[in-house]
Structure 1
Amino acid sequence: MIIIRKNLALSGLILCLLAGMLPMLKVPIKGNWNLYQTDAALFFITYMLIGVTGLLFFVRQLVAYSWMTRVLGIWYLISISAVYFKINNYFGWGFADRLLSKSLHMRWGWIVYLVGVILLLLSVKKLKQIEE
């Protein structure tokens, strides 16, 4: 039996939705970039996964919601590592990549996104059925 903690799930979904609008990268001349300005494909895939997770929560498909929270957790790890490696190996040249990696910095939007994903993962609780 799967139990969903609704307050954790809703707050996790809201934090994940807001995290895409928050600053994810600090670019020297242009300022802060959100997830869409960082990579449009990453933005659309992330919001598609968050939308499917929210839909499964609202239609009460508990098993599928449980799997999508895990998929969203794995997607967070993939997305933050993709942005990190894109920063550190953008041009393919040693000097330019070192210069770019020193000038671009991750911002606090990733932490908000991580907190949202953790809340989504904690919102699912499995209970063993007691047989009488």
Structure 2
Amino acid sequence: MLIVNKPIALLGLIILFAAAFCPMLQVKILFNLVTWGLYKTDPRLFLITYAIVAIAALCFFVRQLKAYRLLTRVLFIWILLMAAAVYFKSTHYFNLKFADNLLGKTIHFQWGWILLAIGSVLLLFSVKKEVLKP
């Protein structure tokens, strides 16, 4: 039987929805610092991520716990893959070593990624399997 720790799950969902408005990347453009959210970084990643979060929230509220557990695992793996993809895309964009080093020095990760990771970890550990005792 699956059991959900509701306060942790709700806190994780709130953190994940708040992470949509947090800065993900900081880009230096001619002495100006520009911060990008997840939508400005890549709209497809944003839509896929928040589609998974929305479906997980729906499964949580309608008590489909098997689907919720599966989606929390998928979301955690997706966020790890997404962070790796953004990192490799920003450091290997031109396939020229000089240009990639210059671009890699101008793009920095911001604290929004930490919120995404914390929210997904909270969702991941909010559900557990417990054996019923007769």
- TM-score range for the pair, normalised by the shorter chain length: over 0.9
Percent identity of the aligned residues? 50
Deviates more, 1:22-31 or 1:64-73: 22-31
Q: Residues of 2 paired with 1:101 and 1:129: CA distance?
A: 53
Distance 1:91 1:59 in 2: 46
Distance in 1 between the 2:5 and 2:103 partners? 43
Give a deviation string over 1:56-85, Cα, whole Å, max 9, x none.
Answer: 001100111011000000001110001001
| Aligned-residue offset at 1:21 | 1.3
The alpha-carbon deviation at position 9 of structure 1 amounts to: 0.5
Q: CA deviation at 1:92?
A: 1.3
Superposition map of 1:1-132 within 5 A: 1-29=1-29, 31-130=34-133, 132=134
Structure 2: state its 5+ residue gaps: none
Unaligned runs of 5+ in 1: none
Q: How many residues align?
A: 131
- Pairwise CA RMSD: 0.9
* TM-score where L is the length of structure 1: 0.96
TM-score of the superposed pair, with normalisation by structure 2? 0.95
Post-superposition shift, 1:122?
A: 1.1
